[in-house]
Structure 1
């Protein structure tokens, strides 16, 4: 069915869902020196960078937007999540520059015409040479970390928008197999940045409340989990997440009209989230919190795992809790990566703390990997043994303790 989408300036952009497969690779030429400008040409289907390798130091990317839409350019870490630098709001026909201090390592380049979706032309980019010292004073570096976190949040929500559109379209059209397959992948974008939505009053309840929470607070139950229950129809003897109420009590599968209502509501609520993260109010809120806000975000996301995902209560009907679990951990680790250097700079205790936190993340991710991945899918939560759950719980607790000391260390 035809329905309204976003209402801000982003509504004027053509919203496109693009495959994660690189549509145009980078052709390696001679290594660029730190003083050479690297050229980037962004089109509707490609992101051509003049070289795939450069020497460490200050790199400048001269980005020319040849697409029909407002575009963005990103330099990402090897994991494809952490943003090293980005330049946004490049109008068609305009040119902008991105300057970063690049350390040796492997990276990804990416353009995002329309400033929505996964982007195009994702390609490998490598930096050779020795380590270089960061420039600028402490306040400047901390503001850079805040700006990079803002860019990460916007990127995740920009990918969430078309993913939710495709997911709800499948759900409303009765293509339940498609919707079920998309459910954990779509939610990953949201779970990586959930504390941002939680700061906006009733927006997170509208998007992500479980049935038991909505009932307890007397709220209309909408969002992901209302749709989830339609897609994974509970068995006749199943109980709700409260462990007491029969799942079928006072409930029936949604009609076609009700599905349209729930789908459109989720689209609108995610659109509201997208509006907010692209607003001055969002940037001002992050600026006011500073690096403490990033650090506290890392802690909050791990708390999400500890209070819901590890118990299997989040995705009660689908059993896809491990996907949410992994996305929360990814978002938490990404936030930690932005403030790690500030913790390490706080004397030997800070360096020891940051090293321990990084190791604990690695231990937790290794245990998760034994059960699947976000890319290939995880096993259903009900297949975990008590030993599996205990191992994951122990690893969460082992990370939570040092992570709880991160903010105070960063602020020293």
Structure 2
């Protein structure tokens, strides 16, 4: 969720809560077979190895700096093979990816901004990890799901952008949240391209130096905070639609693996914890619970497709995930008109105690979900 940038203080507090429940990540010592240790500091990013065999690669990350950081494994064309955001000072995280032979970059971004610090690594050998027919089926069905979400988003986005371009504030407000649901369900795939997410889903406090602010949240601010649509905002509407059309056309080329599906599910829960529960994501429209539901639905879809594999390797884990997904969905149902509606309570009307209850339910799900990638690759 590079669209939402927490302040260092807020992020550190949020990360502390997350790391308390992501046990498998924090217990990793980075010394497992094939593991690559990554040490992130405020002014450097070092790796323990420069060559690894193709297949399942594990990055054991330790943040020894004073800032919240994020770490990426990038393909040669700058697409994201794997990532982990919001790694707090003094904490560890484990990133698992399935990669082919080639040159890759490990990137650490202290403060979660700027170009960061890079290390090149080589992945040797010609093949990735072996996949079972069940794995191939899960990947194929997830690819179909992601494409369907993009295809269904475009007409909804057109309703929104046409309303903005026409200067119809009320129609644009009505169409805004629904136009984002498909994106929220599949956001890790969209983020993997690197250049699309900053154009369409960036928050104002996530802007890099010299970067123009475009996308949904630029228009959200105009609609709810500024309460007006000037010439600049109207001109940005077709730009958003064009960028989403680019996403729709490119999503079929995304690199999707069983581990990226599992990691993506966990990323979606992290986004809920660091952006939706805090009210940071939709700070003007307060439609956070709609995004929240979309993130949970996307995470659950990945899990359900991987469940036949994970249940054989770790039945206790899938039993826990079934329970925690059901619990979180039941809790979310309290905030909408009916179970088929996306009319959720405005998040500014959700009190502190209720937000805490939502946060606790997310954390209870995040812990077992953080172990899904390992269960799939056993």
TM-score (norm 2): 0.63
Report whether the alignment pairs 1:388 with 2:354.
Answer: yes
Computing the radius of gyration from Cα coordinates, the structure with the larger value is 1
1:219 is matched with: 211
> After superposition, what is the alpha-carbon deviation per residue over 1:316-356, rounded to whole angstroms, capped at 9, x for unaligned?
1100001000100000001100001111111xxx1010010
Report whether the alignment pairs 1:409 with 2:346.
Answer: no
2:274 is matched with: 307
> After superposition, what is the alpha-carbon deviation per residue over 1:253-282, rounded to whole angstroms, capped at 9, x for unaligned?
542x3233210110111011011023xx32
Unaligned runs of 5+ in 2: 1-129
Report whether the alignment pairs 1:270 with 2:248.
Answer: no
CA RMSD of aligned residues (A): 1.7
> Is contact 2:153-2:182 (8 Å) kept?
yes
What is the distance in 2 between the residues matched to 1:269 and 1:229? 19
Superposition map of 1:184-195 within 5 A: 184-195=177-188
What is the distance in 2 between the residues matched to 1:213 and 1:277? 24
- 1:363 aligned to which of 327, 352, 360: 327
What is the distance in 2 between the residues matched to 1:142 and 1:217? 42
> Is contact 2:177-2:287 (8 Å) kept?
yes
Instruction: Report how far residue 234 of structure 1 moved.
Output: 4.7
Report whether the alignment pairs 1:232 with 2:232.
Answer: no
Q: Aligned pair in 2 of structure 1 residues 224, 397: CA closer, same or farther (>3 Å)?
A: same
Report whether the alignment pairs 1:161 with 2:127.
Answer: no
Bigger drift between 195-204 and 312-321 goes to 195-204
> Is contact 2:158-2:241 (8 Å) kept?
yes
> After superposition, what is the alpha-carbon deviation per residue over 1:134-189, rounded to whole angstroms, capped at 9, x for unaligned?
xxx97112111100000000000001111111110011112211111111111111
What is the distance in 1 between the residues matched to 2:326 and 2:298? 14
1:131 is matched with: none
Bigger RCO (CA 8 Å, 6+ sep): 2
2:307 is matched with: 340
Unaligned runs of 5+ in 1: 1-136, 236-252
The 4+ residue runs of structure 1 with deviation greater than 3 A are none
1:208 is matched with: 201
Equivalent residues, number: 247
What is the distance in 1 between the residues matched to 2:198 and 2:232? 19
1:59 is matched with: none
Instruction: Report how far residue 395 of structure 1 moved.
Output: 0.6
1:400 is matched with: 366
> Is contact 1:326-1:374 (8 Å) kept?
no
